[in-house]
Amino acid sequence: MSGNNSGIFYFIELTVRWKKTLFAVLVISLSGSVITAFLLPVYYKSVSTFYPYSPKAYDPRYFFASSGNIELFGTGDDADRVVSIGNSSELANYIIEKYNLIDRYDIDRNNPYYYINVTKKFRKNYSIKEDMRSAIIVTVYDQNPDTAALIANDIVNYIDSLNRKPVIEANRDLLIKYKKDLELRYRTMDSIVKKSSKNSPGGQNGLNQIMSTDIMRTYNNLKEVETRMAVLNENFKTLYVIDRAAPVIKKAKPVRWLIVTLSTSGALLLTFICIVLIDQYNQVYKRSDKHFFKA
């Protein structure tokens, strides 16, 4: 107990002895941090929240063959896929180019690393993550509240387009395949019919029936995929947006009081540590009267 009291009295005595230095540091650090805090650019935050749908809810390959039990919302894997899309270079490049962030962020184009610099700054002002309720949160900071909301909503729309792109491409590729298959079967049948007519005019009925069945099967597959594509062309959505981003006029950063508090406290703490070290050094060499520094 007495040791604690002596320690407290020591720090109080040290503070009194070095009060001028501490006061000077307080004034300088407080003034500097206030000026710095008010010179920093102001940013506004805009947020959009959404849930990803399950692919079984929008991919015709699933619900055309389903028995009616369709999952509406996606799993953790679907959320991870959407977050990965949101963090992709393709999305970053799209936003950087569309909103001319190189000039908007005052990036020097003469710098050979200017695109790396603008990408870093964009990612500093943008985040996408999954919250505790499995919702996906898109957050954008910008010096203009309207632009922040515009970019946030555009990001969600672009994620949606990238998320449905593989579904459209897979069905389109299947459509092209069945069209080629149907054309090939028509040509094959025509060639076989011509050869059979020359060799044995009366013996082609069975072969014609087999080819016709094969052609009809391919034709039905083609019509099914065409129906799928018609559904996909209706601009389907893969994301359920709960909250669209809206302009918020409240300043999000910098938090000036926090900057001033941390800067001033840090400067005083560092100064006090230096004072303790100097005092301890002086006490070691007290007998020789070779003081390193005096208050």
In the block, which residue shows the tokens 């996909």? Answer: 232
Distances (CA, A) of 287 to 29, 279, 295: 36, 14, 18
CA-based max dimension of the chain: 128
The domain locations on the chain are 14-40+271-278, 41-253
Give the burial string for 234-245 (b: 16+ CB within 10 Å, else e): eebebbebeeeb
Tokens (6 digits) for 177: 């395949």
Domain range 41-253, CATH architecture: 2-Layer Sandwich (3.30)
* pLDDT averaged over 10-residue windows placed end to end, the chain, 295 residues: 64 85 88 82 93 80 60 82 94 96 93 94 95 92 95 96 82 69 63 56 54 64 62 74 91 82 90 87 66 54
**Tell me, what's the pLDDT at 38?**
80
Distance CA 261, CA 215 (A): 79
Instruction: Residue 182: count other Cβ atoms within 10 Å of its Cβ.
Output: 17
pTM: 0.69
Cis previous bond, 145, omega within 30: no
